[in-house]
Structure 1
Amino acid sequence: MTGEPEKKEDHNSSARSMHLIGGRRVTVSDLIDAGLLQAGERLRFARNRIGVAYDATVTAEGRIRLASDGEEFRSPSRAAMVAAGMRAVDGWRAWQVVEQDRLLDGLRQDFLDQALTGTANTTQQQADDENRKRVHERLRRARERADRRDPERITVRELLSFWRATGRGDQVSQIEADLANHGLVTSPNFRAVTLDTMVSLTIPPDDSEPADTDTSPEIDPMPIPEDDEDGGDLNVRLMVGTLSPLVGVASVGPDSTFEEAITKMMLNDFSQLAVLSGPHNLRGAVTWRSIAQAMHERPDRRFTDAIDPHVEVVAYDRDLFEVLPVLQRRDFVFVRDQSRAVMGIVTTADVVHRYGEMATPYFQLGEMDQTLRWILRRAFDVDTVQTLCKKVVTSFDKLTIGDYQRVLENKAAWQRLGWRIDRAAFIARLEEIRHLRNKIMHFHSDPVPQDTVDKLQRFNELLHRYRGSA
């Protein structure tokens, strides 16, 4: 024994640093550890609209035990859904701590606020804390507006900037966790729309219908912040909304004229127009083909004869791959937003453009890879490359970008190529591309920035220019 007091982990919330939350969802166990909630405290979920209440208690393990049957849940939302037989409910805003006369959500906000006063141990942790505090303050203001029923409306691009992100890549899980911790959702879902689509930072509705009751045909259920056992659902799909900004769709009314429809299509270079008698009432579409067919059959045909009622309408968060067969048959689909209003259109041309955006950087990387291997194969044998890479190399096809760097960083190897370009600048760009490759290969729904594609293309052009002299 040295006589020094034994150091114990301090669970007091005032000593907790924001970086310890780590971009994850706050749990009931966190509230217990921070002294904000006690094991054995009673919870009540009151549905005042129908005069029913459900009781539960908090266990020492941070679970919610239902009074009705003793079933336990780590997720407050899951516990509330099972207790009430509801399709979706935000359990943090449903369960009230009886002894404290406060919602679990209020205690969660206290936990986040107290974490702001915590002390980080390293410079990096301090920097992480400052970033998290900035995001916390920003989301807290958004929550205040949402509570006043005046939700903030911003583009997805602006939302991502809170976390200094430019795309929905590796930070999506942290973004979703931070939103959930503040009881916020985006409407529409920020994952399922374009970067320039406007979303509302709002809270889910106070109540929902029972699980066996259909929702209104005009309103989709509001998403609930995830706090499930596994920390949220995996969602890496490419959705219809990522091709349509949901800002409205060009249309004519059912009592329009051929001249109006044709003029709008010519002025905007459209191949089709929606026929609407209100944002939720799609009557069909007119296309160049339907107009030509109507007018060819009989010159005195009315405009209504050119309306094709057999059009496809899909939700903005529908999986794009499920819609591709429809696009092959119809060339376009109309898109409904979160309120089921017809607010967008996706065409085969949109899909071709997006897949071109997605495929181009992969092809550019593949071209670079093949070209560099071809160059090294012509200039060196496998034994030389193995020596320079300082690892076992059985084939040029096994080389990585890091291996290319190790070979070309060698002054003698570089001179053997006979290239009259600066070696340091070339290696620096290759290192940059190595990092870009890692980001590109981690698939997400946003297109690779054009400047990244341009860098890859220019690098390939340089390789093609000098490969003959290798």
Structure 2
Amino acid sequence: MHKEFNEMKTDVDQGRTPTSTVRELLRWFGARRRRTGIVKKIQSELDDAGIITSPDFTKVWIDAEITFKKAHTVAAATTPAGEHPSDSKATEAPREASFLISMLEAANRGVISVQPQDSVEKAITLMLAHDFSQLAVMTNERTLKGTISWKTIGKRLSHENNLKEAKDAMEAAFALEDSEPLFKATKQIIDHEFVFVRSSVDQKVTGIVTATDLSEQFQSLSEPFLLIGQIENQVRKMLHEKFSVSELQEACSDADPSRREKIQSVADLTFGEYLRLFQKPEKWDKLDLSVDRGVFCDEMNSVREIRNDVMHFDPDGIEDEHYDQLRRFSRLLDELDSLGQ
């Protein structure tokens, strides 16, 4: 564990409320993303130290600031008779990072706004300067009066309205709290083209999420699944009709005989079982591949580990080097396929 975590604990014990970012907290534990295992480890360390983060480090943007505070003591009366408060931890579901709209960078970037009485020219200039399609119309950081956009300006001009102030081209704005689940918010974003995001703590408008932001987020979440699916298809093609059913069944763990019986084709194998086939010299020789078996299996094992992380659908996505690993291995399989034709 990083010494900074211990320094933070000392600060809290002495009555201070130190701050950090989620990314920095992860770094203290040698991690860069909120994987299930690392979230569980961090939460366990925080629980043992009697510390909480505000807001919850699993429910905010990875670069959001969090404050470390002393947790409130749970009264013994709130637990069943004869049970120690700490005993109840064993029955809690494992903590995982949530998919909330607050996880998006756009929801935390702040907003560029104009006052209702500001000129339309000012709004247009700001949209051009920042390459925005819309602006918030606000009287202060919490009071959202509406929105002005190229679309609302065009509508008003088409009716030959005399536009002078931002309020003359303003329409109602739609806002969601940052605690809104991302997938539930998706329909609202699509319907309205964009939504403003409010802090559930102090009601400040913290950002605006557009349909473009949403598509970029889903691309980052879905691309690893597509790459892994492509790799699995390439592996199945490589193994097709090379082994008998009994040989395929040998890739299954001896500890699970019922699983072995279910394997009747290459498509029934797991990714780990594919790897187990490649690792056996006698099976490798049957594939007649002109590459080093050890290097190939190391690369494939790295893909297997990435695959396990991706299947947890981490809201922080995967690292760039993991994307590179998936693409690189897929290219290798393509090249081996072309050489074999």
- Contact 1:197–1:247, Cα closer than 8 Å, also in 2: no
Match for 1:153: what amino acid?
A: T
Hey, what does 1:288 align to over in structure 2? 150
What CA deviation, in whole Å up to 9, does each residue of 1:301-326 have, x standing for no partner? 23211111x22212212111222221
Change (3 A) 1:275 1:388: closer
Match for 1:292: what amino acid?
A: G
Hey, what does 1:315 align to over in structure 2? 177
Q: What is the percentage of aligned positions where both structures have the same residue?
A: 28
Q: Please state how far the C-alpha of 1:421 moved relative to its aligned partner.
A: 2.2
Give the TM-score of the pair, scaled to structure 2. 0.82
Hey, what does 2:287 align to over in structure 1? 417
Q: What is the distance in 2 between the residues matched to 1:424 and 1:285?
A: 59
2:108 counterpart of 1:238: no
Work out which of the residue numbers 295, 298, 306 in structure 1 matches 2:160.
298
Change (3 A) 1:361 1:142: farther
Q: 3-state DSSP class of the match of 2:240?
A: helix
Hey, what does 1:408 align to over in structure 2? 278
Match for 2:337: what amino acid?
A: R
Change (3 A) 1:276 1:390: closer
Q: Which has the higher relative contact order, 1 or 2, with Cα contacts under 8 A spaced 6 or more apart?
A: 2
What CA deviation, in whole Å up to 9, does each residue of 1:194-230 have, x standing for no partner? 2112222235799xxxxxxxxxxxxxxxxxxx97934
Hey, what does 2:265 align to over in structure 1? 395
2:188 counterpart of 1:326: yes
Q: 3-state DSSP class of the match of 1:344?
A: strand
Q: Please state how far the C-alpha of 1:415 moved relative to its aligned partner.
A: 3.9
2:38 counterpart of 1:175: no
Q: What is the distance in 1 between the residues matched to 2:192 and 2:212?
A: 12
Hey, what does 1:186 align to over in structure 2? 53
- Contact 1:389–1:403, Cα closer than 8 Å, also in 2: yes
- Contact 2:134–2:147, Cα closer than 8 Å, also in 1: yes
Hey, what does 1:229 align to over in structure 2? 88
Change (3 A) 1:172 1:387: closer
Q: Which structure dedicates a bigger proportion of its chain to helix?
A: 2
Q: What is the distance in 1 between the residues matched to 2:123 and 2:313?
A: 40
- Contact 2:142–2:205, Cα closer than 8 Å, also in 1: yes
Q: 3-state DSSP class of the match of 1:302?
A: coil
Unmatched 5+ residue regions in structure 1?
1-130, 207-225
Q: 3-state DSSP class of the match of 2:23?
A: helix
What CA deviation, in whole Å up to 9, does each residue of 1:103-131 have, x standing for no partner? xxxxxxxxxxxxxxxxxxxxxxxxxxxx3
Change (3 A) 1:189 1:136: closer
Work out which of the residue numbers 338, 341, 360 in structure 1 matches 2:204.
341
Hey, what does 2:237 align to over in structure 1? 374
Q: What is the distance in 1 between the residues matched to 2:213 and 2:161?
A: 34
Q: Please state how far the C-alpha of 1:235 moved relative to its aligned partner.
A: 5.5
Match for 2:323: what amino acid?
A: V
Hey, what does 2:336 align to over in structure 1? 466
Q: What is the distance in 2 between the residues matched to 1:268 and 1:161?
A: 33
Hey, what does 1:166 align to over in structure 2? 32
Q: Please state how far the C-alpha of 1:419 moved relative to its aligned partner.
A: 2.9
- Contact 1:168–1:444, Cα closer than 8 Å, also in 2: yes
- Contact 1:192–1:240, Cα closer than 8 Å, also in 2: no
- Contact 2:279–2:293, Cα closer than 8 Å, also in 1: yes
Q: What is the distance in 1 between the residues matched to 2:67 and 2:229?
A: 40
Match for 1:407: what amino acid?
A: L
Aligned pair count reads: 316
Hey, what does 1:437 align to over in structure 2? 307
What CA deviation, in whole Å up to 9, does each residue of 1:244-290 have, x standing for no partner? 35242121222222222112212222121111211111111111111
Q: 3-state DSSP class of the match of 1:192?
A: coil
Change (3 A) 1:228 1:278: farther
2:138 counterpart of 1:138: no
Change (3 A) 1:327 1:202: same
Give the TM-score of the pair, scaled to structure 1. 0.61
Q: What is the distance in 2 between the residues matched to 1:465 and 1:376?
A: 15
Change (3 A) 1:371 1:277: same
Q: What is the distance in 1 between the residues matched to 2:24 and 2:253?
A: 46
Change (3 A) 1:187 1:294: farther
Q: Please state how far the C-alpha of 1:383 moved relative to its aligned partner.
A: 3.7
Match for 2:309: what amino acid?
A: K
Unmatched 5+ residue regions in structure 2?
74-84, 255-259
Q: What is the distance in 2 between the residues matched to 1:314 and 1:388?
A: 50
Change (3 A) 1:332 1:142: farther
2:140 counterpart of 1:278: yes
